[in-house]
């Protein structure tokens, strides 16, 4: 009874809090709230969606008294006997919602809600190494483009896998001929495909790279992991869904972030692979968890899978399809506006990342833009990742700032 009363009070407080600024009782924290809200209005450079749509989830969470229940998803979410003090049952439904969108069959899939895109890549590389060792008895070589996300290089190092950084073209895509050059055809190949590359938003051409691999039947075995942290979010809901469809691209596993396109408000993600990969791992029977543990982490977050599940219900296929179209239209708008003021800019096909000549540090910090450098594009660069919250109004404000630093008060170009 007492607990419910508390929950009711908490609910009322939270409802009131959404109307007027609510004090936490800690001045240092209260002071940050406005800073965070202000920064949210102008952040354009990073791929976390700032439209999370979880208010009703939090209201339910407090009102139901779940705030005092300590859940933990330790264990295999795809088991038929999920543990009681967990949200594994819902986690499995999340995997089964997304698996077909990436071309996996429901009777041939394994997966989990991860703690991040990096956590998903960790599983992809770990599963890949073990699968290839099991199949061949040999040590694999990992290939990844030199413009891929650094987590892949970090994880290859962590897992002590021999790695080749394959050259990429000026737009950031792994060059098939460069793969051909470095390929060690006597050993199993662990491919990590970038979707996309960190700064330019390039998508590795899986068909062309697979063709290079297929032209070497002497390679003992191949495993392809797709690092689709960002693009794996909107592509399945866009006309370009084929790019992440394993029926077309024939990969073994995929990792996607939850806090990027899907709009979870904390780091999370998806890792999905086929049953064959799951079945060819190292077994560690853990009696107290009652299954063959495949996951790297023991304790795993229970709330993220539940938030994910909530979003599959409340936003779902229709909502994400709408958001994907909106996001690509906003990307087109940003590109047009940059073109219209003559600001040099580039964007990869299917990408929501527009990179351009780097503006002043004032503009960089106002919009928290990520910075890059490439002589082939005139040197100093910056990018905007066009997520749901990068609306036409925000783009107009950003363009106005660029105009202001390009022309003086007399309308004369100064840059
Ligand atoms: C963001 C990103 C990552 C890292 O994902 P986290 O969820 O931040 O760990 C890895 N690869 C790519 C392609 C990304 O865009």
If you take atom 7 of ligand 1, which residue's CA is the nearest one? 117
| Closest-lying ligand 1 atom to the alpha carbon of residue 196 | 13
Per DSSP, which regions of 234-287 are E strands?
A: 253-257, 269-273, 285-286
pLDDT at 412 over 80: no
Cβ of 274 less than 6 Å from ligand 1: no
Q: What is the pTM of this model?
A: 0.92
CA-based end-to-end distance of the chain: 67
Mean pLDDT of 242-256: 97
pLDDT band, residue 415 (cuts 50/70/90): low
Is residue 290 predicted with pLDDT exceeding 80? no
How many whole angstroms from 140 Cα to the centroid of ligand 1? Answer: 24
Between the CA of 395 and the centroid of ligand 1 the distance, in Å, is 24
Distance (angstroms) between ligand 1 centre and the Cα of 50 equals 16
| Residue predicted with more confidence, 412 or 80 | 80
Kindly tell me if the per-residue pLDDT of 2 is higher than 90: no
Q: Say if residue 124's pLDDT is above 70.
A: yes
Q: Does the C-beta of 120 come closer than 6 Å to ligand 1?
A: no
Give the mean pLDDT of 331-335.
Answer: 98
Residue 410 pLDDT: 66
CA distance 145 to 201: 13
**Residue 223: which H helix or E strand, with range?**
strand 222-227
- Write the pLDDT tens digit of every residue in 182-238: 999 999 999 999 998 999 999 999 999 999 999 999 999 999 999 999 999 999 999
pLDDT (0 to 100) of residue 285: 73
Residue 140, burial from CB neighbour count under 10 angstroms (0-12, 13-18, 19+) = buried
pLDDT at 259: 97
Q: Is the CB of residue 152 less than 8 Å from the CB of residue 227? A: yes
Least confident range from 166-175, 237-246, 289-298: namely: 289-298
Residues 298-305 have a mean pLDDT of: 96
Q: Which residues contact 1 (CB under 8 A, 6 or more apart)?
A: none
Mean pLDDT confidence for 360-380: 96
pLDDT digits (tens, 9 = 90+) for 54-90: 999 999 999 999 999 999 999 999 988 888 999 999 9
| Nearest atom in ligand 1 to 195's CA | 13
Spell out the residues 6+ positions from residue 412 whose beta carbon is closer than 8 angstroms to its own. none
- How far apart are the C-alpha atoms of 344 and 335, rounded to whole Å? 10
372/356 Cα distance (integer angstroms) = 10
Residue-wise pLDDT tens digits, 169-195: 999 999 999 999 999 999 999 999 999
User: Among 116, 148, 151, which residue has the most ligand 1 atoms within 8 Å of its CB, making it the best to mutate?
Assistant: 151
Give the separation between CA 312 and CA 309, rounded to whole angstroms: 5
CB atoms inside a 10 Å sphere around CB 284: 9
Say if ligand 1 is within 6 A of residue 149 CB: yes
Q: Which of 222, 238, 155 is nearest to 189 (CA)?
A: 222
At residue 4, the pLDDT reads: 52
How many angstroms is it from 329 CA to the middle of ligand 1? 23
Distance CA(336)–CA(333), nearest Å, equals: 5
Instruction: Average the pLDDT over 149-156 and give the result.
Output: 97
User: How far apart are alpha carbons 26 and 370 in whole angstroms?
Assistant: 32
Spatial distance between the Cα atoms of 329 and 335, rounded to a whole number of angstroms: 10
Q: How far is the CA of 115 from the centre of ligand 1 (A)?
A: 11
Say what the pLDDT of residue 405 is: 83
| Higher per-residue pLDDT: 24 or 293 | 24
For residue 42, with 0-12 CB atoms within 10 Å meaning exposed, 13-18 middle and 19 or more buried, which class applies?
A: middle
- CA dihedral 185→191→195→197, nearest 10 degrees, is -70
Q: Does the Cβ of 210 fall within 6 Å of ligand 1?
A: no
Contact present, 246 and 102 (Cβ < 8 Å) = yes
Of 138 and 8, more confident? 138
Helix intervals (H) in 141-219: 150-158, 176-182, 206-214
DSSP, collapsed to helix, strand or coil, labels residue 243 as helix
Positive or negative: CA dihedral 39, 41, 46, 49: positive
- Ligand 1 centroid from CA 18, angstroms: 31
Which residue of 257, 261, 352, 387 sits with most ligand 1 atoms within 8 Å of its CB, as the best mutation to test the pocket?
257
pLDDT beyond 50 at 3:
no
Q: 161: Cβ below 6 Å to ligand 1?
A: no
How high is the pLDDT of residue 7? 52
Q: Contact, 165 vs 192, CB < 8 A? A: no
CA of 38 to the centre of ligand 1 (A): 25
Instruction: State if residue 183 touches ligand 1 by the CB under 6 angstroms criterion.
Output: no
Q: What is the mean pLDDT of the chain?
A: 93
CA 374 to chain centre: 24
Pocket of ligand 1 contains residue 118 by CB under 6 Å: yes
Answer yes or no: is the C-beta of 145 below 6 A from any ligand 1 atom.
Answer: no
pLDDT for res 21: 60
Cβ of 255 closer than 6 Å to ligand 1, yes or no, is: no
Evaluate if residue 1 carries a pLDDT over 80.
no
CA 305/CA 311 separation, integer angstroms: 10
pLDDT band (50, 70, 90) for residue 289: low
- Which DSSP state fits 324? H
* pLDDT score at 32: 96
Q: Report the range of poorest mean pLDDT among 70-74, 77-81, 272-276, 373-377.
A: 77-81
Q: What mean pLDDT do residues 379-391 have?
A: 97
Q: What is the mean pLDDT of residues 146-152?
A: 97
């Amino acid at each position: 009874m007492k607990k419910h009363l508390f929950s009711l009070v908490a609910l009322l407080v939270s409802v009131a809090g959404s109307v007027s600024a609510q004090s936490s009782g800690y001045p240092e924290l209260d002071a940050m709230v406005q800073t965070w809200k202000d920064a949210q209005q102008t952040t354009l450079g990073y791929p976390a969606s700032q439209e999370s749509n979880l208010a009703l989830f939090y209201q339910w969470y407090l009102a139901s008294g779940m705030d005092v229940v300590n859940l933990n998803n330790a264990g295999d979410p795809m088991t038929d006997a999920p543990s009681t003090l967990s949200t594994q049952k819902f986690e499995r439904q999340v995997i089964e919602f997304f698996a077909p969108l990436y071309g996996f069959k429901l009777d041939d899939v394994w997966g989990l809600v991860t703690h991040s895109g990096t956590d998903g890549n960790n599983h992809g590389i770990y599963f890949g190494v073990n699968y290839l060792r099991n199949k061949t008895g040999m040590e694999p070589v990992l290939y990844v483009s030199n413009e891929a996300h650094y987590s892949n290089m970090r994880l290859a190092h962590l897992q002590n896998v021999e790695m080749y950084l394959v050259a990429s073209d000026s737009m950031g895509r792994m060059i098939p001929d460069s793969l051909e050059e470095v390929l060690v055809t006597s050993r199993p190949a662990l491919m990590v495909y970038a979707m996309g590359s960190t700064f330019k938003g390039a998508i590795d051409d899986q068909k062309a790279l697979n063709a290079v691999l297929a032209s070497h039947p002497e390679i003992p075995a191949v495993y392809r992991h797709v690092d689709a942290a960002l693009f794996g979010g909107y592509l399945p809901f866009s006309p370009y869904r084929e790019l992440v469809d394993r029926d077309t691209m024939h990969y073994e596993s995929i990792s996607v972030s939850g806090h990027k396109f899907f709009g979870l408000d904390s780091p999370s993600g998806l890792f999905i692979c086929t049953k064959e990969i799951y079945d060819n791992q190292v077994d560690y029977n853990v009696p107290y968890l009652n299954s063959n543990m495949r996951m790297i982490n023991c304790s795993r977050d229970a709330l993220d899978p539940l938030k994910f599940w909530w979003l599959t219900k409340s936003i779902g296929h229709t909502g994400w399809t709408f958001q994907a179209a909106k996001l690509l239209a906003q990307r087109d708008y940003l590109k047009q506006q940059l073109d219209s003021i003559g600001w040099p800019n580039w964007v990869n096909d299917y990408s929501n990342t527009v990179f351009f000549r780097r503006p002043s540090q004032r503009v960089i910090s106002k919009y928290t833009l990520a910075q890059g450098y490439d002589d082939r594009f005139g040197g100093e660069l910056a990018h905007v990742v066009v997520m749901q919250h990068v609306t036409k109004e925000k783009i107009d404000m950003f363009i106005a700032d660029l105009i202001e630093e390009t022309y003086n008060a007399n309308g004369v170009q100064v840059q």
